Amino acid sequence: MANGFALQPVLDLEQRRLELATTQLQKLGGQRREAEAKLRQLQSSQAQYRASRQQGLAQGMEPDRLRDFDVFLAKLEHAIALQTAEVERAQQAWETEHRHWRALRAREQALGVLARRHAATLARREARNEQKQQDEFAAMKVRQAKEG
- Give whole-number Cα distances, 104 to 17, 21, 37, 68, 116, in Å: 7, 8, 30, 53, 18
Predicted pLDDT of residue 114 = 92
CA distance 61 to 55: 9
51-106 residue pLDDT tens: 999 999 999 989 999 999 999 999 999 999 999 999 999 999 999 999 999 999 99
- Position 31 scores a pLDDT of 97
Position 148 confidence tier, pLDDT thresholds 50, 70, 90: low
Using H for helix, E for strand and C for coil, what is the string for 8-42? HHHHHHHHHHHHHHHHHHHHHHHHHHHHHHHHHHH
pLDDT value for 134: 92
Q: Minimal CA–CA distance to 25: which of 103, 110, 99?
A: 99
Residue 142 has pLDDT above 70, yes or no: yes
Q: What is the pLDDT of residues 21-44, one digit of tens each?
A: 999 999 999 999 999 999 999 999
Every domain of the chain and the residues it spans:
8-147
May I ask the CATH architecture of the domain 8-147? Orthogonal Bundle (1.10)
- Whether the per-residue pLDDT at 1 is higher than 70: the answer is no
Decide if pLDDT at 16 tops 70.
Answer: yes
Sorted by sequence, the CB contacts under 8 Å of residue 99 that are 6+ apart come out as none
